[in-house]
Amino acid sequence: MKRICLIATGGTIACVQTEQGFVPGLSGRELLARVPDLGDVAAIDVQQIMNIDSSEMQVSDWRSIARAVFGAAEAYDGVVITHGTDTMCYTAAALSFMLSDLRIPVVLTGAQRPLLLEDSDAVNNLRDACAVAVYGEAGVSIVFNHKIIHGSRAFKMYSKNDDAYVSRNYPYLGKIENGQVIWQHHAKIQRGQPRLFVSLNENVALLKLTPASNPSALDYVAKYGFSGVVIEGFGTGGIANLNRGMAQGIRRLTEERRMPVLMISQCPYDGVNLAVYGIGEQAAKAGVIPGNDMTTETAVVKLMWALGKTQNMSEIAGLLESNICDEITGERKIQPAD
Ligand code: ASP
């Protein structure tokens, strides 16, 4: 029989009603006990590594999850991680970078309503996640509402709807129909030995621009000890007030402080291309690194990862612009569905 390691971390799926509202209370074992037919799919062992609302998830928790997955990878056919939906995309992106050349599926799932509620979406999501852990392809994914989404491409679109996540700028990896896993897109094949990298540098700021943004926000980033910043700009690469001090503000970071400035778009789809407009070209000249079509979650995590690898600015730029785990489109060939 196939073997799954279920790593339980909390989230709505595990919530119980309290006077303070929903609070994670069920253990991973208790979740499994309420869906006994999961035992028909695989023999499932549980590791409870925390039981928290995912809003409280820290970078150190990503490390604990990554270590647990890495430790389980030898002995199991797949890993399922139950997790709160709110920051699941950050954790999925983080695991995509921290765990390379995985040989097994690592599947995050959760629910919009606690498993204990009658109309919960938890049971379907758990069943689907276990099916993907056993029959899916290697790598990190989110399985939710019958969809399989690449770990570095997921975006939480709805705070209540069962169909909470979309795959941004990347094909869905597949779907689950009546318990059957239908794999539709094969992500990059990695061939090295499985590796664990946990030295993320968490001192990354995220700055969402508005037309009123001014360089003082960048100076704040410099003053308060950040190591790098992700700027969410406009459209294909617009930066507010570039000619009214913003370009100099960026230079103070990139040239004087040797701090990477990675730019992504506020538009959910298509991403940035700094070559399109004069404003984008000026941003590039000031040292902005284009984040192409990455999600915010992935851009933040990738910058943490690159800063954890090196302090050399050109190496950081090279890492950010390389396609490590399908977080940047462009180089891959989409293969036809099976
Ligand atoms: N606040 C919850 C969490 O992220 C939401 C959920 O799981 O759906 O832990």
Whether the pLDDT of residue 336 is over 50: the answer is no
The pLDDT score that the predictor gives to residue 48 is 98
- For a mutational test of ligand 1's pocket, the pick from 55, 116, 145, 159, i.e. the residue with the most ligand atoms closer than 8 A to its C-beta, is 55
The pLDDT score that the predictor gives to residue 254 is 97
The CA-atom distances, in angstroms, between 206 and each of 71, 130, 164 are: 32, 34, 23
Q: Rounded to an integer, what distance in angstroms lies between the CA atom of residue 169 and that of residue 131?
A: 25
Listed in sequence order, the residues at least 6 apart from 106 whose beta carbon sits closer than 8 Å to its beta carbon are: 69, 78, 79, 81, 95, 99, 133, 139, 140, 141, 151
Considering Cα of 107, then 113, then 117, then 121, what sign does the dihedral take? negative
Summarised one tens digit per residue, pLDDT across range 33-75 is: 999 999 999 999 999 999 999 999 999 999 999 999 999 999 9
The pLDDT score that the predictor gives to residue 90 is 98
| Closest among 247, 243, 244, 223 to 231, alpha carbons compared | 247
Alpha carbon of 301 to ligand 1 centroid (Å): 20
H/E element, 283: helix 278-285
| Closest among 184, 150, 181 to 167, alpha carbons compared | 150
User: In 3-state terms, what secondary structure has residue 138?
Assistant: coil
The answer to whether the CB of 82 falls within 8 A of the CB of 7 is yes
Please say if 86 is a catalytic residue: yes
Please say if 269 is a catalytic residue: no
Considering Cα of 53, then 58, then 60, then 65, what sign does the dihedral take? positive
Alpha carbon of 108 to ligand 1 centroid (Å): 13
What is the distance, to the nearest Å, from the Cα of residue 99 to the centroid of all Cα atoms in its chain? 12
- For a mutational test of ligand 1's pocket, the pick from 54, 87, 163, 297, i.e. the residue with the most ligand atoms closer than 8 A to its C-beta, is 54
The pLDDT score that the predictor gives to residue 334 is 37
Alpha carbon of 237 to ligand 1 centroid (Å): 32
Alpha carbon of 55 to ligand 1 centroid (Å): 7
Nearest-atom number in ligand 1 for the CA of 55 is 4
Taking the complete model, does pTM exceed 0.85, yes or no? Answer: yes
Summarised one tens digit per residue, pLDDT across range 224-265 is: 999 999 999 999 999 999 999 999 999 999 999 999 999 999
Query: Over pLDDT 90: what percentage of the chain?
Result: 92
Q: Rounded to an integer, what distance in angstroms lies between the CA atom of residue 214 and that of residue 219?
A: 10
Whether the pLDDT of residue 32 is over 90: the answer is yes
Listed in sequence order, the residues at least 6 apart from 8 whose beta carbon sits closer than 8 Å to its beta carbon are: 14, 27, 28, 31, 46, 47, 48, 49, 51, 81, 82
Please say if 156 is a catalytic residue: yes
Residues framing ligand 1 (Cβ under 6 A)? 11-12, 53-55, 84-86, 110, 112
The pLDDT score that the predictor gives to residue 327 is 84
Residue 326 pLDDT level (bands cut at 50, 70, 90) = confident
The one catalytic residue in 82, 85, 87, 296 is: 85
Residue 332 pLDDT level (bands cut at 50, 70, 90) = very low
Summarised one tens digit per residue, pLDDT across range 86-143 is: 999 999 999 999 999 999 999 999 999 999 999 999 999 999 999 999 999 999 999 9
Residue 191 pLDDT level (bands cut at 50, 70, 90) = confident
The pLDDT score that the predictor gives to residue 329 is 65
- For a mutational test of ligand 1's pocket, the pick from 85, 87, 117, 160, i.e. the residue with the most ligand atoms closer than 8 A to its C-beta, is 85
Q: Which two tokens stand for residue 318?
A: 């090279």
Q: What are phi and psi of 154, to 5 degrees?
A: -85, 145
Please say if 85 is a catalytic residue: yes
Alpha carbon of 11 to ligand 1 centroid (Å): 5
In this structure, the residue with its CA closest to atom 7 of ligand 1 is: 84
The one catalytic residue in 86, 121, 293, 326 is: 86
In this structure, the residue with its CA closest to atom 3 of ligand 1 is: 84
Please say if 12 is a catalytic residue: yes
Considering Cα of 218, then 317, then 264, then 148, what sign does the dihedral take? negative
The one catalytic residue in 128, 135, 156, 329 is: 156
Q: Rounded to an integer, what distance in angstroms lies between the CA atom of residue 296 and that of residue 139?
A: 20
Nearest-atom number in ligand 1 for the CA of 10 is 9
Kindly report the average pLDDT of the chain as a whole number: 94
The pLDDT score that the predictor gives to residue 337 is 39
